[in-house]
């Protein structure tokens, strides 16, 4: 399969603009899937490069587990690229886009490898959400599986703020989170609570929505 040079380097903002013109009929889901695959190529390459730096003395099972984690890291990276924040939530041009991590799990530990990666002309800053730090200081918030008992508290703290919340916790999206990473049968997929996204003043590319299970869609 040849590379589509016209859109191979297209970022999330460009895809979002193109996606606004994609409605059921002319292009539909098939067009959205094709476009998103083009835009995912850089992140899949990122996952491959990260995997290459993780050393190869482990067993096959460990390698497969690490690969699965890196795929989820690539998903989170693309969630950032395919989302839009209000200008008031971003600070000065070129200021970092902050991904805060609450708690610990395999994905949370691996997210640090995204430090400094570009998102919409801004470097991604990955930081732990420490006690006393308000969630509104973040543009993205990853809630680790260790924080199941604090999920409601963390979502309340981010409620009404332009903070994109992401987690692998079961029923995260149906309980007020924005994006839930799920992997039934070992196959990653994601659920988006569109009402929560819109309520926070955020916008997600229609091309990403086309690949998700969407809750709260009109």
Separation between Cα atoms, residue 162 and residue 89, nearest integer Å = 7
Q: Examine residue 148 and state whether it is found in any structural domain, yes or no.
A: yes
Q: Examine residue 4 and state whether it is found in any structural domain, yes or no.
A: no
Determine how β-strand 122-128 pairs with β-strand 118-119.
antiparallel
Q: Model-level pTM?
A: 0.74
Query: Across the strands, what pairs with 166?
Result: 142, 179
Instruction: State the pLDDT confidence band at 216, using cuts at 50, 70 and 90.
Output: confident
Q: Examine residue 6 and state whether it is found in any structural domain, yes or no.
A: no
Separation between Cα atoms, residue 144 and residue 157, nearest integer Å = 16
Give the pLDDT score at 187. 66
Mean pLDDT of 14-41: 46
DSSP 95: P
Separation between Cα atoms, residue 151 and residue 217, nearest integer Å = 23
Q: Examine residue 7 and state whether it is found in any structural domain, yes or no.
A: no
In this predicted structure, the answer to whether residue 97 has a pLDDT above a threshold of 90 is yes
| Residue range 107-155, pLDDT digits in tens | 999 999 999 999 999 999 999 998 888 888 899 999 999 999 999 999 9
Determine how β-strand 189-193 pairs with β-strand 213-215.
parallel
Question: How many CA within 13 A on the CB side of residue 147?
Answer: 23
Question: Who's near 95: CB < 8 A, 6+ residues apart?
Answer: 122
Q: Cα–Cα distances in Å, from 194 out to 4, 58, 110, 180, 215?
A: 30, 40, 27, 12, 6
Q: Cα–Cα distances in Å, from 118 out to 113, 171, 202?
A: 12, 30, 19
Give the pLDDT score at 189. 86
Mean pLDDT of the chain, nearest integer: 78
Mean pLDDT of 26-40: 46
Q: Examine residue 1 and state whether it is found in any structural domain, yes or no.
A: no
Residue with tokens 């209000």: 86
Count of structural domains within the chain = 1
Q: Examine residue 187 and state whether it is found in any structural domain, yes or no.
A: yes
Instruction: List the domain range (segments joined by +) for residue 184.
Output: 12-215
Give the pLDDT score at 214. 95
Separation between Cα atoms, residue 168 and residue 210, nearest integer Å = 20
Give the pLDDT score at 28. 46
In this predicted structure, the answer to whether residue 83 has a pLDDT above a threshold of 60 is yes
Q: Examine residue 89 and state whether it is found in any structural domain, yes or no.
A: yes
Q: Examine residue 5 and state whether it is found in any structural domain, yes or no.
A: no
């Amino acid at each position: 399969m040849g590379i589509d040079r016209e859109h191979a380097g297209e970022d999330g903002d460009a895809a979002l603009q193109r996606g606004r013109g994609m409605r059921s009929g002319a292009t539909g889901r098939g067009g959205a899937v094709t476009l998103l695959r083009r835009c995912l190529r850089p992140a899949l390459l990122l996952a491959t490069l990260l995997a290459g730096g993780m050393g190869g003395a482990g067993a096959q099972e460990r390698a497969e587990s690490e690969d699965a984690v890196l795929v989820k890291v690539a998903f989170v990276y693309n969630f950032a690229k395919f989302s839009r924040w209000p200008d008031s939530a971003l600070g000065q041009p070129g200021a970092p886009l902050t991904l805060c991590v609450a708690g610990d799990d395999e994905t949370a530990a691996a997210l640090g490898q995204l430090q400094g990666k570009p998102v919409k002309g801004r470097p991604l800053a990955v930081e732990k959400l420490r006690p006393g730090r308000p969630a509104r200081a973040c543009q993205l918030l990853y809630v680790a599986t260790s924080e199941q008992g604090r999920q409601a508290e963390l979502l309340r703290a981010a409620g009404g703020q332009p903070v994109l919340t992401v987690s692998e916790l079961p029923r995260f999206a149906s309980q007020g989170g924005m994006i839930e990473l799920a992997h039934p049968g070992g196959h990653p997929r994601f659920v988006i609570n569109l009402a929560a996204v819109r309520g926070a003043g955020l916008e997600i590319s229609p091309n990403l929505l086309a690949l998700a299970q969407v809750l709260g869609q009109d």
